[in-house]
Homo-oligomer: A and B are copies of this chain.
Amino acid sequence: MKKRTHTCGELRISDAGKIVILNGWVDRIRDLGGIKFVLLRDRYGFTQVVFDPQNEALYSMALKLGNEFCVSVTGTVRERPGDARNSGMSTGDIEIAADELEILSESAIPPIYINIDEESSEEMHLRYRYLDLRRPAMQNNIVTRHRFVQATRSYLNRNGFIDVETPVLGKSTPEGARDFLVPSRLKPGKFYALPQSPQIFKQLLMVAGFDKYYQIAKCFRDEDFRADRQPEFTQIDIEMSFATEEDVFSITEGLMKHAFKEAVGVDLETPFKRFTYREVMDLYGSDKPDTRYEMEIRDLSAQFDGTSFSPISDALGQGMKVKGFMIRGLAGKFSRKRLDDFTQQSKELGLGGLMWIKVESDSIKSSIIKHCQREVEKVVEFFGAEVGDLVLLSVGESLSLSRALGQLRIRITKEENLRAEGFDFLWVTEFPMFSFNKEEGRIEAEHHPFTMPDLDDLEKFGDTQPLKVRSKAYDLVLNGYEIASGSVRIHRQDIQSRVFDLIGLSREEAMEKFGYLLEAFQYGPPPHAGIAPGLDRIVAIIVGAPSIRDVIAFPKVASGADLMTSAPSEVSQKQLDLLKLQLKDSGDRE
């Protein structure tokens, strides 16, 4: 093999006359008047190579070429004739007149197309992932991910963070999602667990005095893989000592600004917008809104104040609210049938029903115009609604009402296939500290039990109304996805005890579950806070990929299978015997 002198993306008109060696793959072959034009491809680009029939030996070798052959070509760079130039290609002004050709390896006909975007089934793409990854679009995804990761590291290194590896063979904890387990051979009957996140280890690293930690960490959750999840995923794990929420916000914003710039040349505006949990729930009925689509939910109770329409006046009397949102310009797309369908959904979401107002050129139409024309007009005025605008509104308990309207709002963006541009970052703060687990009839920690509560709230509400206690937990949202989650952690034992009490965890149970962390907290733990941006999702949003599978080199499908390697697979009886395990018959189910 001759060593390449250049890559396939490198030669320009200024190189004309040079003798060069290129290594790469045959992307396509054309025949024009007996001359063979071979487009050579590598990670860096494409270069056209020309085989002239006058060089008979060389030409007859070129005749053997097929798509995806791996070759080494020696030749002379020459300017293309004016009409043959291709401005869409970085090397489009030149071509290589081939002098020598070495076939490094041949290729069978690939089962998927590499040089056109026509889609085979996703299954074929995953089965032949090594070919799928040859597609320039996929290469770009993986290289962008690489760039984002390297920019992340360089930013955090520069800011004094230390990259520390934490164990993959960890301990199973009963909280949270299901663990993947790893049976131990040396201690039969015992198991390691793959980490759902390095949460406890990063807090221990703070106790150990590392001050600022990060890790691009693989995390594992044995969930049912709906909703574009992967059993293994990657997070940018960050923790800081002597730090407040503000420090975490500032580092995260700086990180995103730097990494977006380095990875894709985008200038983000910082600081990011901030909303409290209460605010986003009120405005968007979601804790991860995409605010680019506007359609903010507004409280319209004042507009219905004193209404004689009894379904509404009764509800208001019971402390309920009227809320709604305006959809600009799309009134014409909402037929009676579609509105009925939305009403149906609103009922499934627990609302009594859905009201609507359409502004048409000559009149205002509304499902409730007969009962409350004045109120409808007030709503139109409130929104500044114009011809073609639609308002959807309903009545209910404030939070549930917002939530349901939020669902309708999202449905509209999807059905209308609305495509907003840009990157919409926002912080959501002051998440509730506790939530009520209806199944188990008990109060539990919303984020995790080491999240610092708002101490004022703990005083005010803790013992009587724990669900009102706000926490120092926060999310970062990008284009409607929660891309990072974090919190200030509890470092004081008295507060930790209060929290365990409130979620009904005895000291003994707490020790059983989190023993070594609680033990560590006896020895001067520093105040600390952290966050963990999800790498896969961020990169998927950056490259505009519909699924995180598109930014993972070797992903798994919903069943957890790797279609290329056919993992998971059966193992030998000998392997099981060594682990002192046996499989239960499938008939043996309980």
Asked if A150 is at the interface of the complex by the 8 Å CB criterion, the answer is yes
Chain B nearest CB: distance from A108 CB in Å?
5
Asked if A266 is at the interface of the complex by the 8 Å CB criterion, the answer is no
Q: Which residues of B contact A210 (CB under 8 A)?
A: 43, 133, 139, 142
Chain B nearest CB: distance from A514 CB in Å?
10
Bound complex: CA A578 to CA B584 (Å): 10
Asked if A179 is at the interface of the complex by the 8 Å CB criterion, the answer is yes
**Is B516 in contact with A565, judged by CB distance below 8 angstroms?**
yes
Q: Which residues of B contact A157 (CB under 8 A)?
A: 150
Asked if A208 meets B105 with Cβ closer than 8 Å, knowing A190-B569, A583-B580, the reply is no
**Is B162 in contact with A142, judged by CB distance below 8 angstroms?**
yes
Asked if A382 is at the interface of the complex by the 8 Å CB criterion, the answer is no
Asked if A60 is at the interface of the complex by the 8 Å CB criterion, the answer is no
**Is B184 in contact with A181, judged by CB distance below 8 angstroms?**
no
**Is B169 in contact with A232, judged by CB distance below 8 angstroms?**
yes
Partner of A182, one of B43, B167, B182, B565: B182
Stretch at the interface among A116-124, A280-288, A541-549, A553-561: A553-561
**Is A234 in contact with B165, judged by CB distance below 8 angstroms?**
yes
**Is A526 in contact with B104, judged by CB distance below 8 angstroms?**
yes
Partner of A172, one of B164, B562, B569, B589: B569
> How many residues belonging to A are interface residues under a CB distance threshold of 8 Å?
124
Q: Which residues of B contact A273 (CB under 8 A)?
A: none
Chain B nearest CB: distance from A185 CB in Å?
6
**Is B554 in contact with A166, judged by CB distance below 8 angstroms?**
yes
Q: Which residues of B contact A44 (CB under 8 A)?
A: 211
Q: Which residues of B contact A208 (CB under 8 A)?
A: 129-134, 553
**Residues of chain A from 98 to 131 with CB closer than 8 A to chain B in the complex:** 104-108, 110, 129-131
Q: Which residues of B contact A17 (CB under 8 A)?
A: none
Q: Which residues of B contact A565 (CB under 8 A)?
A: 170-171, 516
Asked if A590 is at the interface of the complex by the 8 Å CB criterion, the answer is yes
**Residues of chain A from 33 to 81 with CB closer than 8 A to chain B in the complex:** 41-44, 68-70, 72
**Is B209 in contact with A134, judged by CB distance below 8 angstroms?**
yes
Q: Which residues of B contact A251 (CB under 8 A)?
A: none
**Residues of chain A from 133 to 192 with CB closer than 8 A to chain B in the complex:** 133-134, 139, 142-143, 146, 149-150, 153-154, 157, 162-172, 174, 178-192
Partner of A584, one of B184, B559, B561, B581: B581
Q: Which residue of B lies closest to A554 (CB)?
A: B167
Chain B nearest CB: distance from A192 CB in Å?
5
Bound complex: CA A559 to CA B185 (Å): 10
**Is A560 in contact with B1, judged by CB distance below 8 angstroms?**
no
Asked if A168 meets B232 with Cβ closer than 8 Å, knowing A1-B242, A108-B522, the reply is yes
Q: Which residue of B lies closest to A25 (CB)?
A: B524
Asked if A523 meets B68 with Cβ closer than 8 Å, knowing A187-B568, A208-B130, A571-B172, the reply is yes
Asked if A105 meets B526 with Cβ closer than 8 Å, knowing A165-B553, A210-B133, the reply is yes
Bound complex: CA A193 to CA B146 (Å): 25
Asked if A220 is at the interface of the complex by the 8 Å CB criterion, the answer is yes
Partner of A205, one of B133, B171, B222, B584: B133
Asked if A224 is at the interface of the complex by the 8 Å CB criterion, the answer is yes
* Number of chain copies forming the complex: 2
Asked if A318 is at the interface of the complex by the 8 Å CB criterion, the answer is no
**Is B570 in contact with A524, judged by CB distance below 8 angstroms?**
no
Asked if A492 is at the interface of the complex by the 8 Å CB criterion, the answer is yes
Bound complex: CA A170 to CA B561 (Å): 10
Asked if A194 is at the interface of the complex by the 8 Å CB criterion, the answer is yes
Asked if A414 is at the interface of the complex by the 8 Å CB criterion, the answer is no
Q: Which residues of B contact A168 (CB under 8 A)?
A: 168, 194, 218, 220, 232
Asked if A191 meets B580 with Cβ closer than 8 Å, knowing A105-B524, A169-B232, the reply is no
Bound complex: CA A107 to CA B569 (Å): 50
Partner of A191, one of B68, B569, B589: B569
Chain B nearest CB: distance from A492 CB in Å?
6
Chain B nearest CB: distance from A164 CB in Å?
5
Partner of A169, one of B69, B143, B556, B588: B556
Bound complex: CA A189 to CA B166 (Å): 29
Q: Which residue of B lies closest to A184 (CB)?
A: B568
Asked if A575 is at the interface of the complex by the 8 Å CB criterion, the answer is yes
**Is A553 in contact with B164, judged by CB distance below 8 angstroms?**
yes
Q: Which residues of B contact A104 (CB under 8 A)?
A: 491, 524, 526-527
**Is B524 in contact with A106, judged by CB distance below 8 angstroms?**
yes
Q: Which residues does A use to contact B, with CB under 8 Å?
A: 1, 3-4, 23, 25-26, 41-44, 68-70, 72, 104-108, 110, 129-134, 139, 142-143, 146, 149-150, 153-154, 157, 162-172, 174, 178-194, 201, 204-205, 207-211, 218, 220, 222, 224-225, 231-232, 234, 241-242, 244, 491-492, 516, 520-527, 552-554, 556, 559-562, 564-572, 575, 577-584, 586, 588-590
10 A-B pairs besides A172-B575, A190-B570, A208-B553 with CB distance below 8 A are: A3-B244, A107-B523, A130-B523, A131-B523, A139-B210, A142-B210, A164-B553, A165-B234, A171-B565, A181-B579
Q: Can you list 30 A-B pairs, Cβ within 8 angstroms, ordered by A?
A: A43-B211, A44-B211, A69-B524, A104-B526, A105-B527, A108-B523, A133-B209, A133-B210, A153-B153, A165-B234, A165-B552, A165-B553, A166-B553, A169-B220, A169-B562, A169-B568, A170-B565, A170-B567, A178-B575, A181-B182, A181-B571, A190-B570, A191-B568, A191-B571, A192-B567, A205-B553, A516-B565, A516-B566, A580-B583, A581-B583
